[in-house]
Amino acid sequence: MASELTLTVNGAKQVVSAAPETPLIFVLRNELKLSGPRLGCGMAQCGSCSVLLDGEETRTCITPVSYAVGKQVTTIEGLPAVWAVEKKLSAANAAKTLHPVQQAWIDEQVPQCGYCQSGMMIAAVELLAKNPNPTIPQIKDAFTNKPPSPHLCRCGTYAAIIDAVQRAAKAMKA
Amino acid sequence: MTLKTETSSDSQIMPFTTTLTRRSFVKMGGALFVSLALPAGVRAQTAESQASLQTNQLNPTLLASWLEIRSDNTILMRTGRTETGTGMSGYYTQVIAEELSVRPETISLIMGDTDKTPDGGYSAGFLSGMANVRKVAAYTHQALLGLAATQLGVPVENLNVVDGLISGGGKSIRYGQLLEGQHLDLKIPVTGEFAKAAPGKWVGVDGLDGLTVMGDPPMRPLNQCKVMGTSFPVPGIPNKVTGKTQWSCDVTLPGMLHARMIRPATLGSTLISVGAVDKKQFPTAEIVKKGNLVAVVSPNEWEAISASRAVAAGTKWTDWAGLAGSENVTKTLRAYKWNTPSERRGKPADVTAALAKATKKISASYEQPYVRHAPIGPFVAVADVRSDGSVTVWTHSAQSQGLRARIAYMLGTTPEQVVVRWLDHSGQYGRTTFGGDGAESDAVILSQLTRKPVRVQWTLQEDMMWSSVSPAWVSDIQAGLDPSGHVTALHSLFYSPHMMDPRPIGALLAGMPCSASEPGGWIATEWVYDKIQDRLEDVYGMPNLGAETASGGLRGNIMRTPGQRQQNFALEGLINEAAAAANADPIQFRLDHTTDERLINILKATAKAAGWEPRSSPHSQARKTGSTPVNGRGVCVMLRENAYWVGIAEITVVPDTGVIHVSRFTIGGEPGKIINPRQFGLCMKSGVVMGLSEALKEEVTFDKSRVTSTNWDRYKILTMEEMPEIKIVPLSRNDKNFGGGSEGANAVCPPAVTAAFFDATGIQARRIPLSPAYVTTLLKG
């Protein structure tokens, strides 16, 4: 049965009506109209639905919406604001500044079809928060061996992702 | 005002002409609309008949302009082709900018919507699409020059255009100023037809090439390009990165229902009875059924999912066990009574004679199991079938016009009643090239039955069991060698189930009309070894496995670098075997069999980049036992669509575990003029990832009843950690036109990896994937 739940998504409080066991992805997409997280495998095997929950990369296809109550939910739509707060950017500057990970994804022209890339960027933001200067083996390790599964890209953009993560790491230190 | 630009054609006696006319004067703004002079037999709608259709805008021949140049100097291009992920939207933009001499940033694209784009055509067919777009822009450029000549009083030959500014005789004017205050129409000559169902013929739909622009307008010589050859950013990327893209899975309509399909228990099951919906638990969920097509719909997606699981558990299907299992697929193909080849190329008598004269013969059989496209995002579609019979479908299909023709055929209506709207989504890698496979037919059928818009989202398991597959194949190939080890003759036979059956599963299960294709295969190799004089190729096709069932069984379909991926693997495998038999370095051996300067150049450049040292395979240290790694390296080449490819794999094998690690892959590509160097490099690298995935990991498994590789743990693809260092060697040249650069890279991986395996172990691997289990079996001999 549906109940009213209060979520904090990209910094804003949102009251949604949903059965508590509803996977978070359907609430984000259908109720809050966020198209960043996308449904892939539905069983935490690919990473295309990832968001940050209190900074931790989380697969929303298997995470009940009730689990997100009381936590900060961040999708790619909210990444510029995260960066603006971190760097204390003025409102005018914030409006024209993307998160360095997003900017690096554009500069390196990472997305091909782009379907998996929201999850890839979320994983990159989490990695760079924990390790601001990752080596190539560390990037490969993070995108492959961190539970619950590797982040999969069928277009094969892994090399561009590695370049973009390293570019973002540089930009974030600047 | 009428201005004619006469152009000549090499194939037609009649010159093709464009006509420029003024449609009207306007108070504000102004524009030039470039549209199609339709060929005889293709009926355009008149203004009167258009008026009757204006309520739903469903007219397929409504002459939406191809290109519009506005008085504010912005340009809009409409093309029925779509972005498939490899950067076509960027390349089209660059081509238009080049021919019009404008900045690419001033151009925007509308892609794939059948009611907004005039031309149709394959999204994967970049070369034909680009040729069209280039000519459209070139004709327009000529027309604009003519206008400027009149306006400025300066002859056309004295005019020069830079970034949309026309100058000459000390005067200048912008394109936009030329158009101020008027609407002009430019009609350009085209030929071709719109897509329509053709049951039993080829893939079941004609007109998939779309319209083709005729004539030869003057175009910019490739050595004078300013925009082509630069790394212009692909237009859609910023929106994909910031979450602003509207994907096909994002479409919502008022009153829309979410659907989850309940598929048969096996590939051949038919419905006995449908389970029930517990209305207390799922108050808004409803069952919808037609034939063997069963779904649960609800306005709430999670309720549709939960209820569909409950209903599926109570749904009964007949048993079926008509497959031999994936472990027996080669046996199944071997047991089939092949009739005559679908295609044959070469002279049988000459090849027979040459083989009889050969001092040595080598023969080998190569094979591969079923593999699949396996996008990250499963199929999704939204359809709205209205009470007046009109239909709109939102899709990410790579063939909007073909899909439209198939949906119309399924409904027994005309294509005019169907609009297909295209949006971005997960890559398709060929499975929607013929406009069939997908969730669209499910959505249309459910919308027709419920009288509401319906969104159908497949699950991964469903996608991996019910979407079409790239079929298993075997190839027997034989070469004759002269005393020096030179190959004098070659005969290849290629056997495979149907490779082009894009019928939509929803229509099949519902028992609705499907425009069937003709089973068969085709010769996909292109020949680079001109010093091998006698060659014969036979390609055989058979129906799908399980073809007799209501679902059509394992529906075969094309997949990236289709046909050539498979046939070139066998060919290059045999060339490597012949090189080993001749005790020759495999690169030198290839150089000795060709005079093709383009192949020689890219082969030498790639070998140099890889640090290739000439020697024969296997390596002197090769071994097939031991718990420590042994190294190997291998090479292969391919010619495809005017692009030359070279792959060099360096691998390690641990014989005792059968684990192969590709440490480095060097890929060379020469596709004539490279339009976008950065994007070409990215496509080379990503293609290598997909190709290595196929070489090492991918196999569709099935038992007697159903596909069993239905998730990412069972259908494994390459991960980031498994990706080797990838070195790219791109070569661009201005004297060989354009080649296909977006796909092809994947196909040079398997033969290079199997050659490297032979180099490391001395054992020939003639089957992929080189999984640890298979490698261990091979090495134990």
Q: Each residue of B110-134: pLDDT tens digit? A: 999 998 888 889 988 888 999 999 9
Rounded to 10 degrees, the C-alpha dihedral B403/B516/B380/A149 comes to -130
Number of domains in chain B: 5
Phi, psi of B384 (to 5 degrees): -130, 105
CB neighbourhood size of B255 (10 A): 12
Select from B534, B568, B525 the least CA-distant residue to B355.
B534
The answer to whether residue B239 is domain-embedded is no
| Same-domain pairing of B630 and B642 | yes
Conformation bin of residue B344: beta by default, left when phi > 0, alpha when psi is -120 to 50: beta
Integer-rounded Cα radius of gyration of chain A = 16
H or E element that contains B536: strand B534-542
Q: How does DSSP assign B741-760, residue by residue? A: -SSSGGGGHHHHHHHHHHHH
| Beta carbons of A42 and A64 less than 8 angstroms apart | no
One-letter amino acid for residue B247 of the chain: W
Phi, psi of A162 (to 5 degrees): -60, -45
Integer-rounded Cα radius of gyration of chain B = 28
Angle between the N-to-C axes of helices A117-130 and A100-107, in degrees from 0 to 180, rounded to the nearest 10: 130
Both tokens of residue A120?
Answer: 């890839």
Is 80 exceeded by the pLDDT of residue B9?
Answer: no
Average pLDDT of every residue of chain B: 93
Q: What is the pLDDT of residue B42?
A: 54
| Same-domain pairing of B712 and B626 | yes
| Interval B404-428 mean pLDDT | 96
Confidence bin at B53 (pLDDT 50/70/90):
very low
Say whether B686 and A152 touch across the interface (CB within 8 A).
no
Residue labelled with tokens 């009506």? A17
Q: What CATH number does residue B659 fall under?
A: 3.30.365.10
Between A1-5, B412-416, B463-467, the lowest mean confidence (pLDDT) is in A1-5
Distance from CA of B93 to the nearest CA of A (A): 16
Name every chain A residue with its beta carbon within 8 A of the beta carbon of B711.
41, 43, 45
| Same-domain pairing of B128 and B223 | yes
Q: How does DSSP assign B566-621, residue by residue? A: HHHHHHHHHHHHHHHHTT--HHHHHHTT---HHHHHHHHHHHHHHT----PSSPTT
Name every chain B residue with its beta carbon within 8 A of the beta carbon of A140.
720-721, 723
| Same-domain pairing of B34 and B158 | yes
At a CB cut-off of 8 Å and minimum separation 6, what does A157 contact?
A: A110, A111, A112, A117, A120, B682, B686, B689
Distance from CA of A79 to the nearest CA of B (A): 8
CB neighbourhood size of B142 (10 A): 20
Q: What is the pLDDT of residue B41?
A: 56
The answer to whether residue B761 is domain-embedded is yes
Phi, psi of B422 (to 5 degrees): -105, 140
| Helix residue spans in B275-314 (DSSP H) | 301-313
Name every chain B residue with its beta carbon within 8 A of the beta carbon of A106.
233, 237-238, 241
Confidence bin at B480 (pLDDT 50/70/90):
very high
- Sequence length of chain A is 174
Distance from CA of A84 to the nearest CA of B (A): 15
| Same-domain pairing of B301 and B361 | no
Name every chain A residue with its beta carbon within 8 A of the beta carbon of B230.
none
Nearest CA in chain B to A34: B243
Q: What is the pLDDT of residue A147?
A: 97
Burial of B538 (0-12, 13-18, 19+ CB in 10 A): buried
Distance from CA of A70 to the nearest CA of B (A): 22
| Interval B23-32 mean pLDDT | 82
Say whether B460 and A26 touch across the interface (CB within 8 A).
no
The answer to whether residue B243 is domain-embedded is no
At a CB cut-off of 8 Å and minimum separation 6, what does A91 contact?
A: none
| Same-domain pairing of B602 and B735 | yes
Q: What's the CATH number of domain A77-173, 3.40.50.2300, 3.40.50.12780, 1.10.150.120, 1.10.10.10?
A: 1.10.150.120
Task: Kindly report, residue by residue over B63-114, the tens digit of the pLDDT.
Answer: 468 899 999 999 999 999 999 999 999 999 999 999 999 999 999 999 999 9
Q: How far apart are CA A121 and CA B583, in angstroms?
A: 50
Q: How far apart are CA B375 and CA B690, in angstroms?
A: 12
H or E element that contains B640: strand B630-640
The answer to whether residue B235 is domain-embedded is no
Cis omega (within 30 of 0) for bond into A137: no
Q: What is the pLDDT of residue B39?
A: 59
Nearest CA in chain B to A120: B241
Both tokens of residue B213?
Answer: 């622009």
Name every chain B residue with its beta carbon within 8 A of the beta carbon of A105.
237, 241
Name every chain B residue with its beta carbon within 8 A of the beta carbon of A118.
243
Say whether A112 and B86 touch across the interface (CB within 8 A).
yes
Q: How far apart are CA B229 and CA B537, in angstroms?
A: 37
Q: What is the pLDDT of residue B10?
A: 38
Name every chain A residue with its beta carbon within 8 A of the beta carbon of B376.
40-41, 46, 48, 115-116, 152-154
Task: Kindly report, residue by residue over B558-585, the tens digit of the pLDDT.
Answer: 999 999 999 999 999 999 999 999 999 9
The answer to whether residue B348 is domain-embedded is yes
CA distances from B590 to B129, B577, B599, B613, B646 (A): 33, 12, 9, 15, 11
Q: What is the pLDDT of residue B698?
A: 98
Say whether A139 and B720 touch across the interface (CB within 8 A).
yes
Q: How does DSSP assign B10-70, residue by residue? A: SS-SSPEEEEEEEEEE-SS--EEEEEEEPPTTSPPPPHHHHHHTTTTT--TT----SEEEE
CA distances from A5 to A15, A33, A36, B744 (A): 6, 16, 21, 50
Name every chain B residue with its beta carbon within 8 A of the beta carbon of A23.
302
| Same-domain pairing of B145 and B203 | yes
Distance from CA of B645 to the nearest CA of A (A): 18
Is 60 exceeded by the pLDDT of residue B62?
Answer: no
Size of interface A-B (CB pairs under 8 A): 173
Say whether B237 and A109 touch across the interface (CB within 8 A).
yes
Distance from CA of B433 to the nearest CA of A (A): 15
CA distances from B596 to B599, B632, B644, B745 (A): 5, 28, 10, 20
Select from B31, B63, B9, B37 the least CA-distant residue to B147.
B31
Q: What is the pLDDT of residue B781?
A: 83
| Same-domain pairing of B300 and B191 | no
Confidence bin at B14 (pLDDT 50/70/90):
very low
Q: Residues A100-103: contacts with CB within 8 Å, 24+ apart?
A: A100/A168, A100/A171, A100/A172, A101/A125, A101/A128, A101/A164, A101/A165, A101/A168, A102/A76, A102/B241, A102/B242, A103/A168, A103/A171
Q: How far apart are CA B225 and CA B99, in angstroms?
A: 9
Of the residues B480, B510, B542, which one is the last residue of a structural domain? B542
| Interval A7-14 mean pLDDT | 98
Of the residues B194, B228, B262, which one is the last residue of a structural domain? B228
Both tokens of residue B199?
Answer: 């049951």
| Same-domain pairing of B428 and B519 | no
Q: What's the CATH number of domain A3-75, 3.40.50.1370, 3.40.50.2300, 3.40.50.300, 3.10.20.30?
A: 3.10.20.30
One-letter amino acid for residue B639 of the chain: L
Three-state secondary structure of B415-439: HHHEEEEECECCCCCCCCCCCCCCC
Of the residues B439, B457, B475, which one is the last residue of a structural domain? B457
Q: Break chain A into its structural domains and give their ranges.
A: 3-75, 77-173
Task: Kindly report, residue by residue over B284-341, the tens digit of the pLDDT.
Answer: 999 999 999 999 999 999 999 999 999 999 999 999 999 999 999 999 999 999 999 9
Angle between the N-to-C axes of helices B749-761 and B677-696, in degrees from 0 to 180, rounded to the nearest 10: 50
Nearest CA in chain A to B243: A36
Nearest CA in chain B to A47: B376
| Same-domain pairing of B491 and B595 | no
| Same-domain pairing of B177 and B300 | no
| Same-domain pairing of B475 and B399 | no
| Interval A135-154 mean pLDDT | 98
Q: What is the pLDDT of residue B63?
A: 46
| Beta carbons of B517 and B610 less than 8 angstroms apart | no
CA A92 and chain centroid, separation? 24
Nearest CA in chain A to B726: A159
Of the residues B240, B248, B680, the best mutation for testing chain A's interface (the one with the most A CB atoms within 10 Å of its CB) is B240
The answer to whether residue B558 is domain-embedded is no
Angle between the N-to-C axes of helices B564-581 and B749-761, in degrees from 0 to 180, rounded to the nearest 10: 30
Name every chain A residue with its beta carbon within 8 A of the beta carbon of B240.
111, 114, 117
Say whether B685 and A34 touch across the interface (CB within 8 A).
no
| Beta carbons of B296 and B311 less than 8 angstroms apart | yes
For strands B211-213 and B205-206, give the pairing. unpaired
Say whether B302 and A22 touch across the interface (CB within 8 A).
yes
Q: What is the pLDDT of residue B40?
A: 58
Say whether B84 and A113 touch across the interface (CB within 8 A).
yes
Residue labelled with tokens 């490739």? B222
Q: How far apart are CA B33 and CA B27, in angstroms?
A: 17
| Interval A27-50 mean pLDDT | 98
Nearest CA in chain B to A99: B242
Task: Kindly report, residue by residue over A98-116, the tens digit of the pLDDT.
Answer: 999 999 999 999 999 999 9
Domain of residue B412: give its range. 379-457
Name every chain B residue with its beta carbon within 8 A of the beta carbon of A144.
719-722
Phi, psi of B665 (to 5 degrees): -130, 125
Q: How far apart are CA B747 and CA B749, in angstroms?
A: 6
